[in-house]
Amino acid sequence: MILINDSKVKGSIDSVKKATLEMIESYIGKVFSPEQLVPKEIMDMIVLVTREAHREIAVFLDRRGRVLEIAVGEATTVSLPEIEGRRSTTRLCGVRLLHSHPGGDVMPSSVDLNTLRKMRLDAMIVIGVTDIITGVTASILDRNATGELTEVRVLGPFSESKSHKLNSIFGILLENDKNAQDLITSLDEGPEKAIIVGVLLEKQRNNSDEDKALSELKELALTAGAIVVDTVVQNRRSPDPAFYIGKGIAEELSLKFQALDADIIIFDDELSSTQIKNLEEITGARVIDRTSLILDIFAKHAKSREGQLQIELAQQKYRLPRLVGMGLSMSKQGAGIGTRGPGETKLQSDRNHIKRRISYLEEQIEEVADRRGILRKDREKRQVPVIAIVGYTNAGKSTLMNKLCDSNVFVEDKLFATLDPTVRKLTTNEKKDFFIVDTVGFIKKLPHDLVEAFKSTLEEAVYADLLIHVVDASYHNIDERVEVVEEILGSIGAGEKPEFLVVNKMDKTDDSFDFKPASKYGKIFKVSAVTGEGIEELRAGIEEYFAKTARNFTAVIPYTEGWALRFIHENGHVSSEDYTSDGIVVVGSIPEESYSKIKEFVVSTTNFDDNSMDYIKEV
């Protein structure tokens, strides 16, 4: 059935005679034999139109026998009208759908049956039409709520007595409606079923093939709690501005959506409000994009107040320009992927409300970030070197941190299991201490609003003395992931930081493993955070790096030796600078090789004491 919204009778108008259309239209709103499942007059009309136009025709009837809507269509597309009627969540919808199969097929198709389930129709009735009525099948949901269907079928030619047989369904129907709560629960249970859709651009085709193109989106969908029932990839030169994919593919998608009984369609890119609106219209499905999906996952994982504020800010910023587009996904369902959010996110459709909320969130985040800044300064004062673990999500950052620190950071084989930065103390064999910060995972096409919102969290990497960039050795395209992480590091201003590349999960590779990273990395370590392989070398490497590169000091520089202050600023790191009557008191760190130059002014080299851990707990 195709439904075109330009007439009361929806349909592909030119294929049906004007007189016929007018005739059909006259049926709308009229009441026909309420005691018959398939009123005779309607059956006659359906048969007539089907024969004349060689089209499917569908009639929506309520329980009083009133015609709510009629659709004339083509066999290639399925789209369903919004039925006014009983839309309570605990009952059937109170509407049955009668439609013809022009080829004479008496069996309902899987699309038909899924429509029955999805719309909670009272019944789905198929009328097989050739020169004669080949038969009629009425399907209703099974009253035992097993998810199976109950069917009554009569074969043609059609007669009064056969009509009575069909009416037997009414009894089951009423019984069903009483038990509808159970019926419907049994329909709704289980994870959301998602179809994922992506576009493969010409320039991407070289380094990733179709199979792998959407593997990450699939993982994301799993992480969000959905199961992926189908994957659609289209090769295109560029995304379509109106539909993202081609319109034809979008139409096919609508069929798939119905046939697979899916709940949601997820697209691999950020969509515009127009694209979302068009896609929802053409598919009849709830449509969300990669950004909403990621935001949804973050919303699920946000534990700290800061994390929750940041997520909500990103979500609100995402929603604001899209209020028009998000018809289905924002209104009806009210649950499921793309609708979750921390705190007060009652999907407000009021633009002003969202704007007020955004500025409130921004203020709050600033406050929290200020506090974090103060804590960070304190940490710096203690002159304990800070190492930030960065990397693609699921690379094994948290596992590595646990291995290095004997700590207990949450590890899960899911994307974004860690959202809030965690700080731990690492004590090396030499009894030297470091702070290690585990950061939020990076990901390709990380939503811009999210990067913005997470800036203060990601700043942990900016202020670190050393980055440990963890990459998953078992992933097929390591270079791409390394690149994504480098790009994000660059965008937050941490591109120039000294960086170790740690190739993790070596236990999952074999002898053929061959990865040649760019030469910019100071050092490359191959480890397994699970088996412990290579961890000691990494530990030693960290130790050596800091032993070599930095020495923490407090110095008093006479006002006459201004060059020394400049020298420290240029070559080292200054945590604080106080102008006193004795000179400038500088607390900082400086690479070992430069240390000798300022040695004469140094009054002490401070060591980390255990009290510093007090600060960690607050972070």
Nearer to Mg ion, 37 or 437 (CB): 437
The 3 state secondary structure assigned to 52-119 is HHCCEEEEEEECCCEEEEEEEECCCCCCCCCCCCCCCCCCCCCEEEEEEECCCCCCCCHHHHHHHHHC
343 close to 294: Cβ distance less than 8 angstroms: no
User: In the block, which residue shows the tokens 């002159």?
Assistant: 383
Q: Minimal distance in Å, beta carbon 398 to ligand GDP?
A: 3
Nearer to Mg ion, 220 or 584 (CB): 220
Nearer to Mg ion, 160 or 406 (CB): 406
Q: Minimal distance in Å, beta carbon 533 to ligand GDP?
A: 8
Nearer to ligand GDP, 221 or 271 (CB): 221
Q: Minimal distance in Å, beta carbon 472 to ligand GDP?
A: 7
Nearer to Mg ion, 400 or 550 (CB): 400
Residue 213 phi/psi, 5-degree rounding, is -55, -40
Q: Minimal distance in Å, beta carbon 395 to Mg ion?
A: 8
Q: Minimal distance in Å, beta carbon 417 to Mg ion?
A: 5
Q: Residue length, the chain?
A: 619
Q: Minimal distance in Å, beta carbon 459 to Mg ion?
A: 18
Q: Minimal distance in Å, beta carbon 394 to Mg ion?
A: 8
| Direct distance between the N- and C-terminal alpha carbons of the chain, in angstroms, rounded to an integer | 58
Q: Mind giving me the DSSP string for 162-213? A: HHHHHHTHHHHHHHHHHTHHHHHHHHH-SPEEEEEEEEEEGGGTTT--HHHH
Query: Which among Mg ion, ligand GDP, none contacts residue 315 (Cβ within 5 to 8 A by kind)?
Result: none
Query: Which among Mg ion, ligand GDP, none contacts residue 393 (Cβ within 5 to 8 A by kind)?
Result: ligand GDP
453 close to 310: Cβ distance less than 8 angstroms: yes
615 close to 375: Cβ distance less than 8 angstroms: yes
Q: Minimal distance in Å, beta carbon 347 to ligand GDP?
A: 29
Nearer to ligand GDP, 357 or 505 (CB): 505
Contacts of 144 (CB under 8 A, 6+ apart): none
Enumerate long-range contacts of 541-544, CB under 8 Å, 24 or more apart: 541/500, 542/387, 542/426, 542/428, 542/434, 542/466, 542/468, 542/500, 543/428, 543/429, 543/430, 543/432
Query: Which among Mg ion, ligand GDP, none contacts residue 504 (Cβ within 5 to 8 A by kind)?
Result: ligand GDP
260 close to 248: Cβ distance less than 8 angstroms: no
Nearer to ligand GDP, 412 or 618 (CB): 412
Which candidate, 54, 56, 27, 53, places its Cα nearest to that of 40? Answer: 27
Query: Which among ligand GDP, Mg ion, none contacts residue 339 (Cβ within 5 to 8 A by kind)?
Result: none
Helix (H, G, I), strand (E, B) or coil at 49: helix
Nearer to ligand GDP, 404 or 590 (CB): 404
Q: Exposure of 485 by Cβ count < 10 A (0-12 exposed, 13-18 middle, 19+ buried)?
A: buried
Dist. CA 329–CA 338, nearest whole Å? 7
Q: Minimal distance in Å, beta carbon 436 to Mg ion?
A: 12
Contact positions vs Mg ion (CB under 5 A) = 397-398, 418
Nearer to ligand GDP, 128 or 396 (CB): 396
Q: Minimal distance in Å, beta carbon 440 to Mg ion?
A: 8
Burial 296-329 (b: 16+ CB within 10 A, else e): bbbbbbbeeebbbbbbbbbbbbbbeebeebbbbb
Nearer to ligand GDP, 412 or 483 (CB): 412
Q: Mind giving me the DSSP string for 331-393? A: TT--SSTTS--SSS------HHHHHHHHHHHHHHHHHHHHHHHHHHHHHHHTT--EEEEEEBT
Q: Minimal distance in Å, beta carbon 413 to Mg ion?
A: 10
Contact positions vs ligand GDP (CB under 6 A) = 391, 393-399, 411-413, 417-418, 441, 504-505, 507-508, 528-530
Query: Which among ligand GDP, Mg ion, none contacts residue 234 (Cβ within 5 to 8 A by kind)?
Result: none
Helix (H, G, I), strand (E, B) or coil at 434: strand
Burial 46-75 (b: 16+ CB within 10 A, else e): bbebbeebebbbbbbbbbebbbbbbbbbee
Q: Minimal distance in Å, beta carbon 371 to ligand GDP?
A: 25
Q: Minimal distance in Å, beta carbon 323 to ligand GDP?
A: 33
Residue nearest to Mg ion (CB): 418
Nearer to Mg ion, 349 or 408 (CB): 408
Query: Which among Mg ion, ligand GDP, none contacts residue 483 (Cβ within 5 to 8 A by kind)?
Result: none
- 110: Cα separation from own chain's centroid: 28
Q: Which amino acid is at 587?
A: V
Nearer to ligand GDP, 303 or 508 (CB): 508
Dist. CA 346–CA 384, nearest whole Å? 44
336 close to 286: Cβ distance less than 8 angstroms: yes
Nearer to Mg ion, 256 or 397 (CB): 397
